[in-house]
Amino acid sequence: MKKYFTKGRIALLIIFSVLIIDQVIKIWIKTNMYYHDRIHITDWFYIFFTENSGMAFGMEIFSKLFLTLFRIIAVVVIGWFLHKFVKQNMRTGFIACVSLVLTGALGNIIDCVFYGVVFNESTYSQIATFMPEGGGYAPWFYGKVVDMFYFPIIDTNWPTWMPFVGGEHFIFFSPIFNFADAAISCGIIALFLFYSKDFNEAYYAAIKKS
């Protein structure tokens, strides 16, 4: 049994599992909800459908094509390092963290590359359909990333006596993200907290052997 669960197979299991979960959630959201529609789970957790055409937190510093190609190159590089780390027999937890980062990036690449072609546009009055007769809403590589998890843990107004921001609306943790984003964040945080030394050693070893 121990031989069966090799580190390479564990990495593949994480990659396929996270990728499938991410895409199932996104496709369901895309084909069942209007744009900016929301499902109330609790007062601090909503399913809120939005789409992100840029990088993290909706930033659009560079062109869409550049961002998509940059993501693809990043995934190829991370995948190459993951292959090296598995061959170096790095710790299982370390392999799992890198696999999460790789899969999260790959999940969002799928949206960018394919979603514009296989879905029509989601609007406030139209729910998108898969492979519409009139074609998709954008060419290849110009699709938007589907986001849905919204955690307004604190939703209030600043006290009126506070300078500059007094009386203004304040939401603690306003970013809306998806399962792939969560995989990237968890993987990176765990790498910094528990495997920073492993990462440095594995990185230099992979470079030397390449």
Residues β-bridged to residue 187: none
Of these residues, 22, 111, 147, 198, which one is catalytic? 147
The span from the CA of 207 to the CA of 203, in Å, is 6
The span from the CA of 169 to the CA of 208, in Å, is 52
Strand, helix or coil at 144? coil
Could you tell me where the beta strands, DSSP code E, fall in the chain?
38-42, 45-52, 145-150, 154-157, 169-172, 176-177
| Tokens matching residue 120 | 């029509």
Active site residue 181: yes
| Tokens matching residue 51 | 């789409």
Active site residue 111: no
Of these residues, 22, 111, 181, 198, which one is catalytic? 181
| Active site residues per annotation | 147, 181
